[in-house]
Structure 1
């Protein structure tokens, strides 16, 4: 009997040691998973959290962290399932919030709003819950409701620039551009290098025709974000529109460095170089564009124009005709064609090209030039 009793004691002690070791193992795994999540090793983090849940299927921390890792890894459907599993363990606002985010990222806005609303009811003073619900409401065009959430978020934390940006975006959609600009400015007052606010402000200034202000803002933005292709592209477009070709060619060169396989930037730089009377350099850029995209109609037209400037009329004619075969709805190509025809004293054909050009796309930019050619050459 004493031997049996001793064996039972040993067994009980053994169980106790196993349980303690298991707890230590789970704790170590959680630390490992959290470390992986912090450095962006998302798939590895999910694997570690799965190991924790295998050892302790009631571990809410592992369940929530796994959901977060799945969201950050763009595995939104799996994240929705994981959040549901977390809610089976604990009716926590965090799980509703994570599930709402996953729904929103795949466009399930009604489901997202429903989950955000539960999260907000559980934690009404949580900035992120309120603000992100506003974002979801914005997606379904519930502008007034979204604005209410953004205003509440702003009041919850008046030092967070996100709400100011979101309010500005809402006013932009409501076409109250003055209010939108004020809130973009307030957002930038809190965080001067805030990329999204800088970009939104520039876009709005562009859309309302404040091109000089847009360009000035873009110079500030690019000082903070010197490798942002989007900002360089926007500024290059604005400089081009203002015919500031010396500045535009610099931005086009940066864009080519950032994205060497994008034909439009070679085309833009080539056009700017034409304005700088650097025809051979322009021709090289148009050839580079066509090596990337041989169907790029505008590059063919511009290449033809370079040959026109070099008095290489047969080549110019061939290139411009090729451009029109690819895209006939281009008044600029017809302008180029007319110039070649005039140079070859084919006035009847030139007048036909001019008249066709006046019915095509881009007449807003080139219509006056075509009208001038018509007045000079067509009776």
Structure 2
């Protein structure tokens, strides 16, 4: 069985949310006289949510996942299919068959074409009959789709030697993945063009009742010479083979077709919708506009503890809010909340482009109103009317005078309310302070101090928009108001306008260059934006100005660790501990860094120190539990996780780690119970599904284990280990086709997965493919050796000896 994994509290150092929550949620400080800067409160039991991070518990070779790439039949090159199509090249090979580049020997000039082979899972008469019926239905659908100019035309289909073949038009050009290049984000207009073109094709496809199932950049060809995108490789064709296997009781299939990075959850669960294709197109747009590699797309899933599955990408891209809203709706985790048709998205795009078009004022005409002759007008007025007019004007003048008198600034009364507001603020009565400042501003709207202090009151009441408006008015009245810039930066930060906060902190530093507080707050904001280099520079400035400021060393340690410099981070945490021997934050963070570097004894000592200082720190117990697991102290791990749960039962991590400890002690019922509890706390925790699956498998519940691994894959499509583990169970059940499919997926996700090659070698041996088994086992042995896993290398050599 593949090695069990556990989660460690706050392990992913470069995740924005984790970094922010590792910083103390200190009270915000305001710098005006009378408003005391709040001292940093030590973190005791502050919640430090943790994205999942997996660690192998042993260094023994991972038992072989068994996934098999289809073995290319090189003998096919040069073969003549249907006495007409000469194979000249193997384009691809998969679990369902192969794809060839061929020439049509019966047409003038021998034009090129693409021949796709579909292999039935077995050659029984029932399976073949069913396969031919489904294959023919699918061919007829593809024939209709080929009528669209941007879909390859189906030239022919035939059966030969119990294999089924589709012959399609060859599209000269290059795949779109050559244009969507990592590190080179597209401009918004180019993304809009891509969305519009692909969606127009999909609108036609969907109108024929067909779901493509595998829209991704490699399946869009930029055709020569017209430059149009052509949609190829319909996943529905692969579904034929999948459906056929349902009729083969020996080889039932449970896999979904598609490319994981572009597949939504319902497609992984075998329930594709029309909106599943829209999700794939939306993910392509995210990839293009962010410049991320396709393999990183699954990492954009919401990293928060609730793990909603939504794609968090806006902070990595520059585009209009309108386009971002459209993309977000396309890639919504719940398919019912997405656009339900390609036409619907196209309408939204059209409206967006219409709003973005510049207004052409060149042809606007100015139409002047026609005027009456003044002589004819005045001739109609009598003297009595003029008397009434004069009386009205006089009354208006009197009213204006009275209003001006009553509403004139009253600095004396305004100052009384101002001082009352300041007193209320000092007594932390923000609501009463707000009322006093409202009256002060009403009596004297030109006093910048009143706006500033009212901003403070609004800030304390968490009315961040109102606070920002007040600080802005104070700055308008006094452009050099340093404290107003600083506090507006705090409000913008908490209102999640971090770039705006940085602008304000920078302006404050321009006016007051040696202010350590401002450097610190700006550094924290850069840290949250994952701009570690700039954050470190700001924390350096803080330390230069205040060499004994503990939190500056701690925060710089977080920035260094986030940049990958864990040793540098440990150095800063150690310096913070020298300055404050009871600083739980520094011990906690140093424990995390040591854990990541494999210094489990050091991590254990740091977490123990946190617990000595703060015996009610559930997080410290939870992390010490995971450290004990890595040291093989399973009973001690159980004790620590139990203590963490007793202090806070709202976190699934201790349940999950205790599940693993019981699993190692072979107490499978307790392991299952704890992983189930972890899932009650967080139903989207794919690690808990993984671990419960391992416990169920070890306890003999193969079907329950398969269900849990399937759920884990649904929540984390890039989890190669889950595919490998599920494949192992399929292999034990002698369901070789499903095992092979899962191993292939594991290798696609993790190309250096030595255990996957090892497992595939064993499956190939079981299927009688000696040459393929030797090839895979040799690759596995080399990978194990390169990775320092000598046990795995020896296992691979042992299996090779059996074959020779």
TM norm. shorter chain > 0.5: yes
- Whether the 8 Å CA contact 1:300–1:323 is kept in 2: the answer is yes
Identify the residue that residue 596 of structure 2 maps to in structure 1: 207
Closer, same or farther in 2 for the Cα pair 1:19/1:72, shift >3 Å? closer
**1-side partners of 2:723 and 2:413: how far apart?**
78
Q: Is 1:265 matched up with 2:658?
A: no
Q: What is residue 78 of structure 1 aligned with on the other side?
A: 466
- Conservation of the 8 A alpha-carbon contact between 1:331 and 1:366: no
Question: Residue in 2 aligned with 1:13?
Answer: none
Match of 1:5 in 2: none
- Shifted more, 353-362 versus 152-161: the winner is 353-362
Q: Give CA deviations for 1:158-185 in whole Å, capped at 9, x if unaligned.
A: 2211222243344445544444322221
SS of match in other structure, 1:327: helix
Aligned residues: 348
Structure 2 CA distance for partners of 1:68 and 1:207, relative to 1, 3 Å: farther
Q: Please, which of 535, 550, 553 is the counterpart of residue 161 of structure 1?
A: 550
**Deviation of residue 319 (structure 1)?**
1.3
Distance 1:275 1:28, change over 3 A: same
Rate the CA distance shift 1:50–1:220 in 2: closer, same or farther, 3 A.
farther
Distance 2:580 2:438 in 1: 39
Kindly indicate which of the two structures has a greater share of residues assigned to helix: 1
Deviation track 1:286-332 (CA, whole Å, cap 9, x = no partner) reads 4434555677666566556556666xx4xx12311321332355646
Look up the match of 1:27: 419
In the other structure, the counterpart of 2:441 is: 53
The partner residue of 1:92 within 481, 491, 497 is 481
Q: Deviations over 1:14-51 (max 9, x none)?
A: xxxx99787555533431233125xxxx5554444334
**Is the 1:263–1:289 Cα contact (8 Å) retained in structure 2?**
yes
User: Equivalents in 2 of 1:96, 1:172: separation in Å?
Assistant: 30
**8 Å Cα contact 2:697/2:704 also seen in 1:** no
Q: Which residue of the partner structure matches residue 428 of structure 2?
A: 36
Gaps spanning 5+ residues in structure 2: where?
1-409, 714-718, 760-791
Distance 2:534 2:670 in 1: 55
Name the CA shift for 1:359/1:26 in 2 (closer, same or farther; >3 Å). closer
CA 1:109–1:330: 2 relative to 1, 3 Å:
closer
Alignment match, 2:452: 64
Deviations 1:320-363 (A, max 9, x none): 13213323556468658857986xxx6x4599859956964899
- Is 1:216 the counterpart of 2:605? The answer is yes
Quick one: structure 1 residues 191 and 339, their matched pair in 2 at CA, closer, same or farther if it must change by over 3 Å?
Answer: same
- Contact kept in structure 1, 2:489 and 2:504, CA below 8 Å: yes
1:188-267 matches, cutoff 5 A: 188-267=577-656
Match in the other structure for 1:152: 541
Partner SS state of residue 36, structure 1 = coil
Partner of 2:705: 320
**Which residue matches 1:10?**
none
Aligned residue for 2:229?
none
CA offset at residue 76 of structure 1? 3.1
> Is contact 2:662-2:670 (8 Å) kept?
yes
CA contact (8 A) 2:411 2:444 kept: no
The structure whose RCO (Cα within 8 Å, separation 6+) is larger is: 2
Q: Aligned-pair distance for 1:138? A: 4.8
The SS at the match of 2:427 is helix
In structure 2, what is the Cα distance between the partners aligned to 1:143 and 1:309?
A: 44
Q: Deviations over 1:65-88 (max 9, x none)?
A: 332343344433322211112224
Instruction: Tell me, in whole angstroms, the C-alpha distance in 2 between the residues paired with 1:142 and 1:218.
Output: 28
For the structure 1 residues 339 and 242, does the alpha-carbon distance in structure 2 shift closer, same or farther, using more than 3 Å as the test? farther
Q: Tell me, yes or no, if the aligned pair for 2:413 and 2:443 is still in contact at 8 Å.
A: no
Following superposition, the deviation at residue 148 of structure 1 comes to 4.3
Structure with a larger share of its residues in strand = 2
1:305/1:336 contact within 8 Å kept: no
Inter-partner Cα distance in structure 1 for 2:613 and 2:756: 39
TM-score (norm 2): 0.37
Alpha carbons 1:338, 1:349 under 8 Å: kept: no
Inter-CA distance 355–254: structure 2 relative to 1 (3 Å threshold) = farther
Q: Any conservation in 1 of the 2:536–2:559 contact (CA below 8 Å)?
A: yes
Contact 2:663 2:671 in 1 (8 A): yes
Q: Does the CA-based 8 Å contact 1:338-1:351 persist in structure 2?
A: no
Tell me the distance in 2 between the aligned counterparts of 1:354 and 1:242: 34
Residue 221 of structure 2: aligned partner: none
Deviations 1:175-215 (A, max 9, x none): 44444322221122222343443343333323333333223
On the 8 A contact 2:702/2:729 being kept in 1, the answer is no
| Contact 1:235–1:251 under 8 Å retained in 2 | yes
Bigger shift: residues 73-82 or 46-55: 46-55
* TM-score of the two chains, using structure 1 as the length reference: 0.70
Query: Does the 8 A contact of 2:611 with 2:620 survive in 1?
Result: yes
CA–CA distance in structure 1, aligned partners of residues 417 and 572 of structure 2: 50
**2:421–2:433 CA contact under 8 A, matched in 1:** no
Secondary structure of 2:704 counterpart: helix
**Structure 1's 22 and 72: CA in aligned 2 closer, same or farther, altered over 3 A?**
closer
Match status 1:119 vs 2:508: yes
Residue number in structure 2 paired with 1:8: none
Larger mean Cα displacement after TM superposition, 88-97 or 137-146: 137-146
The structural deviation recorded for 1:136 is 4.2
> CA separation in 1, counterparts of 2:689 and 2:535?
47
